Structures are given as structure tokens and as C-alpha cells.
Amino acid sequence: MKNTIAERIADFIKMYPPFDNLPYNELYKLAEETRVIYLDKDETLYTQGKPPKEHFFIVNQGAIRIYRQEGEKTIEVEMCDEGDVLGLRPLIVNENYTLNAKAYEESIVYAIPIQNFNKQFENNSEVSKYLITRFASNSATRFSQEDNERIFADYKRTTNTDYFSSKISNLMTTAVCCNHKSTVQEAASIMSENKISSIFVLKKDKPAGVITNKDLLHKIATGKFTIDQNVKKIMSSPVISASPDISIAEAQIIMLKNKIGNVCVTKDGTPESKLLGMLTQQDIVASLSNNPAILLKQISRARTIPRLRDLRQQLNDLLTRFINQHISFTHTLTVVAELNETINQKAVEISIKELNKIPPVRFAFFALGSQGRKEQLVPTDQDNGIIFEDVPDDKLESIRAFFIELATVINKNLHSIGYEYCPAEMMASNPKWCLSKKEWEVQFKDWIFNPTEKNILLSAIFFDFNFVYGDKELVNDMTAIVHESTDDNNRFFMFMAKDALKSPSPLGFFRQFLVDQDGAHKDQFNIKQRALMPLIDAARILTLQHNLQGINNTAERYYKLRELEPQNAEIYEACAYAFKALLKFKTKNGLATLGEDDGKFIKLENLTKSDKVKLRRCFKPIKSIQEVITIRFQPTL
């Protein structure tokens, strides 16, 4: 019998991972078994600690808030939007729900039975790939550090082929074993000698059990057993084993399911056959190149600028992959910003060597704008400056000349790495931005106490500076100067607020997006100016008002503000979320149009309907935060 509604559901889930690459008739079969659940605002979908039902969920309309309850505290984890899948992990790993899910607004959710899903897609590599990334991203956002390390894995570059086709026999290492007649003490000394955390107990050549650090802790150190007893008393058995012919991905699933860090490889995959070796989580991570840790190592070892350029290119690949695999965006942002900063540091270091002169006084090189806020994902133009120690007046110009020479080299090198020159000359090689500490102080005070339109604009750019290389104390002094002068300086805040409000809510009449009217980007939506800048500006002024030092990242600023002003917590929370979502949009777009611009112009016709809905949802907090600013600083008076 024809089922129109099932078709509709299949049409919907087809648009989202992991369903997007699956055959339609399979999805239709799945859709027929689906349930549609309606949730009013604040109704619960599932509760922490309860065993999972037979369904996992995909959001059709509305938004579901995922949070964790820790005693009295609730910790926000994620907001699931249209097309997001939730509640899947507990079903796969077979554990209770570790999180709560509640409707953030009126929502419709499809409940998909896990049994049918498993039956139909168990052997589909696209689906298992999705599942693994999903788990990786989940763990990166919220769970304990331990969990994080264990699950977090980066797959080999963009192809993924190795991860899914390469057999684990290529990766496995010799297992460290002891005889089943040994005592606990003997086993522990073997472990200690080999610096490993687990040991297999062999009976003939078959693995009979395994002893881990945890067993030693819980069973020996607590005094339940003594060290001269037989290993059999404390070992866990049977062991989790795998055949040498399975893929790395499958091995990782096995580890995930059983919550173990290593798996023993036997001849036919059961514990009843010969032990061949073992495979640890670390082996997998180490074998797959281009993971952030390895990239970081390579950057710090780089000696030439061309090498840095290659690495910056690899960083782009890494970013693309993170985004495609739906790794948590917060995590992506941190990783990329960290690596970006290291590249910059290295570039300065190489430049100083290239110049072959020793800096005459202490100095610091700092970044401004998006890089200063650690929000730069796709390389944009460089904004930076230099501060050096106070020197006697007669020497000032000669020392400035030296730093300008150095800065010119740095700027050139950064340019060859892939950071465009700043069209507004906001670079350290510009004599205006290569100043001594005293001169910066004068400059900052001028901006703060003479808030003309231009000065406010410069304040907005410069007050997000972040230390890159040199003497960190100088930069800290600069921060102190800024905060000292802005403290309770209502006049300055008023002007800043006016500037922050200059781009009104990005939605026009009839909920249409406001697009550029003319110029090269006619009919495109400027996501940076219209949506990101209002959020960034608002965060800056509020942190200045609270005298918060050392937090530059906009999302982090909002999280901090949430703690300081519980009465506005909801708005700040929403702003942080919206900011991340918008930045992700910009980054995706920037990666797609790499080289043209950094992705700030979005062509509306390229957006899907659900993208538009998501964007719109992000605009609501902009309006709320602008209201907060208007009321607090009264810029219209």
C-alpha cells in the first residue's frame, strides 16, 4: 500500500547524514517503521540514567536542548537543530542515557527504531564512518578527559580509504604476556618493565584473560588479594578479541563498544585460538598521520617558510575534514586556532633568524582582529603590531627602524605562508603600529578619551590583541592600560555601544535576509558584517565593562558573561551558540570558495531551506543582545 507520509519522512531524512548517501528504497522501509513525536516546549524526550528505548531520534522541526545534570548543576552540551540525530550512542554502546534531552521550543521529532536501522545498515561503511565521527565529536564536546583521549581519533586525510580498508594486521604489535601459572607480582613486574598498562595471561598459546592497571588498583591495592596469588584470581576473562582481517574502523568500534583501550588479535578472532598480537588505541592514532598532535609537532620542527606554507595547507585540509565529519565546532575552533598561532610564532622565529640580527631591546609581536580573538579558521588578511620596551628618546627612532625592518620581513613571510597583506596597513611594518610601550599608552588613551568615529573603529580592532611572540609581559601591560582607562568610562562605552549597534538585526521586513544592494557582492548576504560583527562587538564591550582580562574568544567571552550575570544567562548562552553556528557557516563557505575571500559573502540561492532556518534562528540572539546593550549604555541619548 502506498504510504505518502512515509515518503515524506524519507524525503526529509534523506537530506541529512548519515542518511544522505543511502538508497531511497531502504530509507522508505525505515520511514515506514518510524514514529512521529510531538514535544511542547520543555517536554522531555529522554532522561539521564534511564535505559534507552528502542528508538533513536532525528529532529524534524524545532530544537532539542541536550544537557547533563551534575548534582545541582546543569551543563549545556548541545543544541540539536533540524536534521540532527540524537540518542544514538546509548543504543549502540548499550548503556543508559548519559544526558538529558528536552524540547527547547515546540518540536517534532522522528523516532527511528534501532533494530531496523541496524539490520539495514550494519554493513554500510558510510554509516559506520558517521557513527564513529559522531562519537568522536560527542566526546570532544563534553565528556571526561579520559573518554576523550580514548575515543578521539583522526582519520587519514580526506580519502578515508585506509581507515576502512586497511587491515589491523598491519598495525598490530607484539602482545606482552605472562603464563597462567605466574603470580600477580610477576605479572606486575613484567608490566612495569615494559611500561604498559595491561598484560595478557596465556594458557598454552591462547589468551585466557587480561590484567589491567585497574585490576591491580581495585583488587590488589585495596587488599582484596595479595600479590603472591595466582594471576587467574584477578584477571578479566574472556578477553575481547578480534580477527587480524578486520578493518581499523571495525577494531575501533569493538573498543568503543567494550570500553577498552586495546584489543587482542587472535588467529580466528575468538579467544579460543592462537594469540597473534594486540592493537591499542594509541597505535591507531599514531598510524594515521595528519592529526592535530602530529601536525603541531611538524610545525614546531619546521625550519623554512615554504615548509610552513605546506603545513598551513594541511591545516586547511584538517579543517575541511573536521567540518565534513561534524566534529564538535568548539573543538575544531580550539585546535585550529592553536595550530594557527604556532604557525605565526614559528614564522616570527624564522624571520628573526633570516634577518640575522639580535633585537636590541625586549619586544612583543601581537595579533589583532579575528586572529587575536582566536577565531580565524580560514586564513584572512594579517593584522598585527609590535610593542617594544621604553628607550631613551635619542635612541627611539633607530630602534624603531630596526623593528620595522624585522616586521617587514615577518609580514612578507606571513604573506608567502598564505596570509594576505592587510589593505588598511594594519601591520607591524607600518610605523604607526610599531611603537614603544609609552607610545602605545598615549595612543590607547587618545582613542579612549577622544572617541571619534575613526578612533572607536581602531579601538574595536586593536582591543582584541593577542600575544604571539616575544616578551609576554609587554602585552600584559598593554591590557592593563586599556582596562585602567576604560574602567567606569561611561562616555567611551556609550560610543562603543553606538558602534556595536550600527548593524541592526540582519532580517528585514517579511523576514527577508538583508543583502548587499550593489557592488561586486550584489545580492549576497554579508555574514561577517551583518551577523558576526554585532555579536563580536557586543561581547567586547561587555567584557571591557566587566574588566575581564585575557579572554579574547567571543564564545568564551559569552560563557564568562553568563557566569557573571545570571539574570541574562539565557541570552549569553544563545549568543555563544549563535556565534559558533554562524562562524561555522562562514567557515564552510570560506572553504568552498577558498582564495576568493574568507567566506563572508553568502549567496542566498546556494542555501538550502534548512540552512536558512538555522541562520534565522541565530539572528534572534543578535536582537536580544543589542537590546541589552541599548538599555545598559544608552547610546541613543
Partner 1 sequence: MWNYIKKNIAYFLKKRHQPDYWKNYAESLKNIPTKSIEESKFVVFDCETSGLNPKEDRILSMGAVTIRGNTIDIKDNFEVYLEQDIFNRESVAIHGLLKKGKLKKVSEEQAIKNFLVYIEGAILVGHHISFDVACVNYALKRMGLPKLKNKVLDTGVLFKKTKHQLYAEAFTKVFSLDEVCDELKVKKKDRHTASGDAYITAIVFFKILGRLNRNNDLTLKELFFTPKMIY
- Residue from 27, 31, 409, 494 touching partner 1 (CB under 8 A): that is 31
36 sits near partner 1 (criterion: CB under 8 A): yes
Is the Cα torsion angle 520, 525, 527, 531 positive or negative in sign?
positive
Residues 214-253 that bind partner 1 (CB under 8 A): none
- Residue from 37, 190, 391, 607 touching partner 1 (CB under 8 A): that is 37
Query: Considering all CA atoms of the chain, what is the largest pairwise distance in Å, rounded to the nearest integer?
Result: 93
Q: Number of residues interacting with partner 1: please give it, by CB under 8 A.
A: 23
58 sits near partner 1 (criterion: CB under 8 A): no
305 sits near partner 1 (criterion: CB under 8 A): no
The SS3 of residue 617 is: helix
Q: What is the DSSP string of 237-276?
A: -SPPEE-TTSBHHHHHHHHHHHT-SEEEEESSSSTTS-EE
Alpha carbon dihedral 16, 20, 26, 31, in 10-degree steps, equals 10
- Residue from 20, 23, 24, 38 touching partner 1 (CB under 8 A): that is 38
C-beta of 578: minimal distance to partner 1 in Å? Answer: 20
- Residue from 15, 21, 23, 40 touching partner 1 (CB under 8 A): that is 40
Residues 68-127 that bind partner 1 (CB under 8 A): 106, 108, 111
For 433, counting Cβ atoms within 10 Å of its Cβ (0-12 exposed, 13-18 middle, 19+ buried), the class is buried
Query: In the complex with partner 1, which residue's Cβ is closer, 31 or 315?
Result: 31
Query: In the complex with partner 1, which residue's Cβ is closer, 4 or 567?
Result: 4
Q: Quick one: which segment of 26-34, 397-405, 556-564, 579-587 binds partner 1 (CB under 8 A)?
A: 26-34
61 sits near partner 1 (criterion: CB under 8 A): yes
25 sits near partner 1 (criterion: CB under 8 A): no
8 sits near partner 1 (criterion: CB under 8 A): yes
Is the distance from CB of 411 to CB of 421 less than 8 angstroms?
yes
- Side by side, which strands form the sheet with 363-367? 434-436, 384-388, 363-367, 466-470
Query: In the complex with partner 1, which residue's Cβ is closer, 55 or 437?
Result: 55
**Which one, of 261, 283, 265, 282, lies nearest residue 274 by Cα?**
265
C-beta of 115: minimal distance to partner 1 in Å? Answer: 13
Q: Which three cell numbers stand for residue 276?
A: 597473534
For 51, counting Cβ atoms within 10 Å of its Cβ (0-12 exposed, 13-18 middle, 19+ buried), the class is exposed
Query: In the complex with partner 1, which residue's Cβ is closer, 38 or 449?
Result: 38
3 sits near partner 1 (criterion: CB under 8 A): yes
C-beta of 107: minimal distance to partner 1 in Å? Answer: 10
C-beta of 103: minimal distance to partner 1 in Å? Answer: 10
5 sits near partner 1 (criterion: CB under 8 A): yes
The SS3 of residue 383 is: coil
Q: Which amino acid is at 402?
A: F
C-beta of 488: minimal distance to partner 1 in Å? Answer: 44
Is the distance from CB of 561 to CB of 567 less than 8 angstroms?
no
- Residue from 13, 22, 27, 39 touching partner 1 (CB under 8 A): that is 39
Alpha carbon dihedral 586, 589, 591, 595, in 10-degree steps, equals -100
Query: How many C-beta atoms surround the C-beta of residue 483 within 10 A?
Result: 16
Query: In the complex with partner 1, which residue's Cβ is closer, 11 or 473?
Result: 11
Residues binding partner 1 (CB under 8 A): 1-6, 8-9, 31-41, 61, 106, 108, 111
